[in-house]
Structure 1
Amino acid sequence: MHKSERLFQLVNLLKGRRLAVTAKSLAAHFSVSERTIYRDIQDLQSSGVPIEGEAGIGYVIADYPLPPMMFSYDELTALLLGSKMVSAWTDPELSAHAKSAIAKIEAVLPAHLKQQHEHSPYLVSSFKHGPQQQSFSAKLRAAIETQRCVTLDYKDALQQHSQRVIEPLGLVYWGGKWTLIAFCQLRSDYREFRLDRITAINKNELTYAVSPDKNLNHYVELVKAKYAEEIAQHQGQAPDKSGQ
């Protein structure tokens, strides 16, 4: 384990404990010598980490907000990949925050991690996520956060146009397209609307409230239950090839 990663894990370990942890226990946890732990503690204290304690008694971290120190390569890959997805696939405001986060992460990458990151096998494309969808995403996110209804002008797969007053509950990315999950006041039920088929979004003054049987998590549970039922039915109808 690289020393920088060990220091990061050491801080996290101490932050998660209420009682002092001895150098002997820490040395066993990281498979290093107690002398190495003493040096690590001194290095962290010198850098401003509020570690209290002494040899033979143990160490704790004072109740003090600590900034993130460093991440492993796999953690950085996950963070950067997620930030790039947000940057490419969401609305302009979230995209700007994601780009700012990416810049901050890349600015403090150690040389060996920066080199690995430059050769990452992952690429996030913004193809098919144009300005109109980004604008719709921003309007819908604002409506969801304030629990305000909106009026959608929508074109379905058959190119038929309709207008619906809906209660937006959440935005789901299925891979390739964004879908708005909403409660349709016309149908009094959940409905899904693809963002690339929305032609206009208009605000109105109506508000709505979520409830145990009308919210995004409830919708997801219904979808899971329906999917499980379809799988069970399919397996029950599958031909018996055992010969019995």
Structure 2
Amino acid sequence: MQRAERLFQLLTLLRNRRTVMTAKQLSEHLQVSERTVYRDIQSLSLSGVPVEGEAGVGYRLSHRYQLPPLMFDRHEVEALLLGARMVSSWGDMDMAAHAKQAIQKILAVLPDHLRHSDENLPLLVPNMEEIQKFYTAHSQPIREAIRARQRIKIDYTRADAQASTRTIEPLGLIFWGKVWTLVAWCQLRVEYRTFRLDRINTLDVLNEIFETHDNKSLKHFLALQDESCQDWNND
């Protein structure tokens, strides 16, 4: 990676964070040593970029600093287009519509030699519209409940074909290439549980707010799976 490109990526990383990033985190993203990160931070500061923070604590860009609009190269455009096609085929209908709108906005501001990338992209994603509604059932209200931290009540068919009613606290959705899985804190089991969306029969968003914390969050759930190397608790 050229140094100019690395400095630009460093700026992008810092701009996209509200909290500080340590030199170790930056070095892992950029795949360079922490010493290189320190030198790059110094170069940015000397060039007038207001980087706040210090070694051993972390860095961030001043909230007053504004970068010029970003432009994509051909490889980045192709990656965005492929990702949008995947969302259109494998996400729920609302998500698919917004993905298409986002791509149209991106294409509208691209230079002429990139504007028709969507038509010429030699990467295809199968159209799953017929089964999309089945595998993404209830995805939109679940996403809204996750954002609002609202409990939901579901009537669910378990893996053993038994019916079950649960009140759960939705934490995140994970796509497995065919099915979507909801990660949640189950009030019945008093622990994390995962639920396949295509097995949810009915869903009600409750007027009950829940809180997340260090020991109850999607991040904590994933960390536990990494530590135990065990299968997820599916219901």
Same fold per superposition (TM over 0.5): yes
Amino acid at match of 1:104: K
State the Cα RMSD in Å. 3.1
Q: Is the 8 A contact 1:170 1:180 kept in 2?
A: yes
Which amino acid counterpart does residue 207 of structure 2 have in structure 1?
E
Question: Map of 1:216-227 to 2, 5 A cutoff?
Answer: 216-227=218-229
2:75 paired with 1:74: yes
Give the distance between the partners of 1:80 and 1:119, measured in 2 at CA: 11
The residue aligned with 2:45 is 18
| Structure 1 gap ranges (5+) | 1-7, 22-61, 231-244
Indicate the percent of aligned positions where both proteins have the same amino acid.
Answer: 39
Alignment check: 8 A CA contact 1:88 1:129 kept: no
For 2:197 and 2:84, locate their aligned partners in 1 and report how far apart those are by CA, in whole Å: 21
Distance verdict in 2 for CA 1:96–1:116, change over 3 Å = closer
**Normalized against structure 2, the TM-score is what?**
0.65
> What is aligned with 1:146?
148
5+ residue gaps, structure 2: 13-43, 49-63
State the distance in 2 between where 1:212 and 1:64 align.
32
Letter in 2 for 1:166: I
- Distance, in Å, in 1 between the alignment partners of 2:103 and 2:175 is 21
- Is residue 179–residue 192 contact of structure 1 (8 Å, CA) maintained in 2? yes
Residues 79-120 of structure 1 deviation map (CA, whole Å, 9 limit, x = unaligned) = 222222233333333322211111122234444435665343
Alignment of 1:207-218 (within 5 A): 207-218=209-220
Deviations 1:54-94 (A, max 9, x none): xxxxxxxx9545222x2111111112222222333333333
Structure-2 residue corresponding to 1:185:
187
Following superposition, the deviation at residue 10 of structure 1 comes to 11
User: Match of 2:199, as an amino acid?
Assistant: R
- State the AA in 1 paired with 2:153: T
1:137 corresponding residue in structure 2: 139
Alignment partner, residue 175 of structure 1: 177
Instruction: Give the superposition deviation at 1:153.
Output: 0.8
Deviates more, 1:138-147 or 1:103-112: 103-112
Q: Is the 8 A contact 2:89 2:132 kept in 1?
A: no
Distance change in 2, residues 1:224/1:121 (3 Å): farther
TM-score w.r.t. length of structure 1: 0.63
Secondary structure of residue in 1 paired with 2:45: coil
Aligned to 1:93: 94
Q: Indicate the SS of the match to 1:212.
A: coil
Partner Cα separation in structure 2 for residue 129 and residue 220 of structure 1: 28
Separation (CA, whole Å) in 1 of partners of 2:172 and 2:67: 32
Instruction: Report the Cα distance in structure 2 between the residues aligned to 1:215 and 1:72, rounded to whole angstroms.
Output: 36
After superposition, the Cα gap between the structure-2 partners of 1:116 and 1:106, relative to the gap in structure 1 and judged at 3 Å, is closer
Structure 2 counterparts to residues 106-145 of structure 1, below 5 A: 106-114=107-115, 117-127=118-128, 129-131=131-133, 133-134=135-136, 136-145=138-147
